[in-house]
Amino acid sequence: MTAHPVTLHVCLACRAAGDDDTLRAGARLHAALAARLDGQGDVRLSGVECLSVCKRPVTVAFAAPNKWTYIAADAVDPDEVIDAAERYAASEDGRVPWRERPPLLKSGLVARIPPQPETRR
Ligand code: FES
């Protein structure tokens, strides 16, 4: 794993078909991830209000210092999200080789954002 922890942002507001306001799909995914990540120091979970990809619930983002930020949608499987986070953490600059990506980082990929210029290598 990397020297810097990865931040895994999860939209808490994402709503799947049939969800009411009590426990939305995003909040359910966040809770499942929190249970699985308990005690794993390399992935920090962050619940956020909205990542502006609302029509493709659930939206997540992977971010770390000096790395590209990846935004992915249609996240439903917490194990796949953790797999993606671990592959992202293991990459040098956030770019996971295509053949190593889980579907979340292929068909689910919405955008990637370069590292901030002052932190770029
Ligand atoms: S409600 Fe989840 S991205 Fe907007």
How many separate domains does the chain show? 1
- pTM listed for this prediction: 0.92
- Residue 86 belongs to a domain: yes
> What is the tens place of the pLDDT at every residue in 45-95?
999 999 999 999 999 999 999 999 999 999 999 999 999 999 999 999 999
Mean pLDDT of 83-111: 96
- Residue 28 belongs to a domain: yes
Atom of ligand 1 nearest to the CA of 26: 2
CA 83, 109, 28, 93 torsion-angle sign: positive
The helix/strand count (H/E) of the chain reads as 2, 5
Pocket of ligand 1 (CB under 6 A): 11, 13-14, 26, 50-54, 57, 59
> What is the pLDDT of the chain when averaged over all its residues?
92
Mean pLDDT of 21-38: 94
Cα 73 to ligand 1 centre (Å) = 9
Atom of ligand 1 nearest to the CA of 13: 1
pLDDT at 2 over 50: no
Confidence of residue 1 (pLDDT cuts 50, 70, 90): very low
- Residue 94 belongs to a domain: yes
Mean pLDDT of 39-49: 88
pLDDT at 27 over 70: yes
CATH of the domain at 72: 3.40.30.10
Buried residues in 34-69 as b, exposed as e (16+ CB within 10 A): eeebeeeebbebebeeebebeeebbbbbbbbeebbb
User: Of 47, 92, 87, 90, which Cα lies nearest the Cα of 109?
Assistant: 87
Cα 71 to ligand 1 centre (Å) = 12
Instruction: Tell me the residue range of the domain where 66 lies.
Output: 6-113
